[in-house]
Chains A and B, each alone.
Chain A
Amino acid sequence: MNKIFSKPTEDPLWLKLTLGIIAVGFIAIMLLMPLVLVFKEALASGVRTFFSAMVEPDTLAAVKLSLLAAAIAVPLNTVFGIAAAWSIAKFDFRGKTFLVTLIDLPFSVSPVVAGLVYVLVFGMQGWLGPTLAGYDIRVLFALPGIVLATIFVTFPFVARELIPLMVDQGRDEEEAAATLGASGFQTFMRVTLPNIKWGLLYGILLCNARALGEFGAVSVLSGHIRGQTNTMPLHVELLYNNYDYTGAFAVAALLAMLALLTLALKSFLEWRYADELAASHRH
Chain B
Amino acid sequence: MSLVVASVTKKFARFPALRGASFVAPQGAFVSLLGPSGSGKTTLLRILGGLEVADTGSVRFADLNWLDMPARTRNAGFVFQQYALFRHMTVADNIAFGLKVRPRDMRPSRADIKKRVTDLLALVQLAGLEDRYPSQLSGGQRQRVALARALAIEPRMLLLDEPFGALDTKVRKELRADLRRIHDHAGVTTVFVTHDQEEAFAVADLVAVMRDGRIEQYGTPQDVRRDPKTAFVSDFLSA
User: Direct A–B touching in the complex (beta carbon < 8 Å)?
Assistant: yes
Interface residues of A (CB under 8 A from B): 172-173, 175-183, 186, 190-191, 194-195, 276, 279-280, 282-283
- Contact status of A276 and B88, CB under 8 A, knowing A179-B71, A181-B98, A282-B135: yes
Q: How far is the CA of A173 from the CA of B149 in the complex (A)?
A: 12
Closest B residue, CB atoms, query A282: B135
Q: How far is the CA of A190 from the CA of B102 in the complex (A)?
A: 13
| Residues on the B chain within 8 Å of A172, using CB | 80, 82, 84
- 15 new A-B contacts, CB < 8 A, other than A175-B84, A177-B97, A179-B76, are A173-B86, A173-B87, A179-B49, A179-B77, A180-B98, A181-B72, A181-B75, A181-B102, A182-B72, A182-B98, A183-B72, A194-B88, A194-B89, A279-B135, A280-B87
Q: How far is the CA of A17 from the CA of B40 in the complex (A)?
A: 54
Once A and B bind, how many residue pairs between them come within 8 Å at the CB atom? 77
Q: Are B87 and A283 in contact (CB under 8 A)?
A: yes
Distance of B109 from chain A, by nearest CB (Å): 18
Q: Does B164 contact A (CB under 8 A)?
A: no
- Contact status of A180 and B149, CB under 8 A, knowing A173-B87, A195-B88, A280-B87: yes
| Residues on the A chain within 8 Å of B73, using CB | 181
Closest A residue, CB atoms, query B71: A178
Distance of B25 from chain A, by nearest CB (Å): 19
Q: Are A175 and B153 in contact (CB under 8 A)?
A: no
Q: How far is the CA of A276 from the CA of B71 in the complex (A)?
A: 31
Q: How far is the CA of A25 from the CA of B19 in the complex (A)?
A: 63
Q: Does B50 contact A (CB under 8 A)?
A: yes
| Residues on the B chain within 8 Å of A180, using CB | 72, 77, 97-98, 101, 149-150, 152-153
| Residues on the A chain within 8 Å of B101, using CB | 177, 180-183, 186, 190
Interface residues of B (CB under 8 A from A): 49-51, 71-78, 80, 82, 84-89, 97-98, 101-102, 133, 135, 149-150, 152-153, 159
Distance of A119 from chain B, by nearest CB (Å): 43
| Residues on the B chain within 8 Å of A194, using CB | 88-89
Q: How far is the CA of A17 from the CA of B73 in the complex (A)?
A: 60
| Residues on the A chain within 8 Å of B159, using CB | 179
Interface of A, secondary structure class, is helix
Q: How far is the CA of A178 from the CA of B82 in the complex (A)?
A: 16
Closest B residue, CB atoms, query A180: B98
Instruction: Please name 16 pairs of A and B residues whose Cβ atoms are closer than 8 Å in the assembled complex, sorted by A.
Output: A173-B84, A176-B78, A176-B80, A178-B72, A179-B72, A179-B76, A179-B159, A180-B152, A182-B101, A183-B72, A183-B101, A194-B88, A194-B89, A195-B88, A282-B135, A283-B135
Q: Are A195 and B87 in contact (CB under 8 A)?
A: yes
With most chain B CB atoms within 10 A of its CB, the pick from A175, A180, A194, A282 is: A180
Q: Are B49 and A190 in contact (CB under 8 A)?
A: no
- Contact status of A280 and B88, CB under 8 A, knowing A175-B51, A181-B98: yes
Q: How far is the CA of A172 from the CA of B163 in the complex (A)?
A: 13
Distance of B47 from chain A, by nearest CB (Å): 13
Distance of A205 from chain B, by nearest CB (Å): 21
| Residues on the A chain within 8 Å of B76, using CB | 179
With most chain B CB atoms within 10 A of its CB, the pick from A179, A276, A280 is: A179
10 A-B pairs closest in CB distance:
A180-B98, A172-B84, A179-B78, A182-B101, A176-B84, A282-B135, A178-B71, A194-B88, A186-B101, A181-B72
Q: How far is the CA of A157 from the CA of B80 in the complex (A)?
A: 33
Closest B residue, CB atoms, query A275: B133
Q: How far is the CA of A181 from the CA of B96 in the complex (A)?
A: 12
Distance of B33 from chain A, by nearest CB (Å): 17
- Contact status of A191 and B86, CB under 8 A, knowing A180-B153, A181-B153, A282-B135: yes
- Contact status of A279 and B98, CB under 8 A, knowing A172-B82, A178-B72: no
With most chain B CB atoms within 10 A of its CB, the pick from A178, A181, A282, A283 is: A181
Distance of A278 from chain B, by nearest CB (Å): 9
Distance of A198 from chain B, by nearest CB (Å): 11
Q: How far is the CA of A172 from the CA of B81 in the complex (A)?
A: 10
With most chain A CB atoms within 10 A of its CB, the pick from B51, B80, B87 is: B87
| Residues on the B chain within 8 Å of A183, using CB | 72, 101
| Residues on the B chain within 8 Å of A195, using CB | 87-88
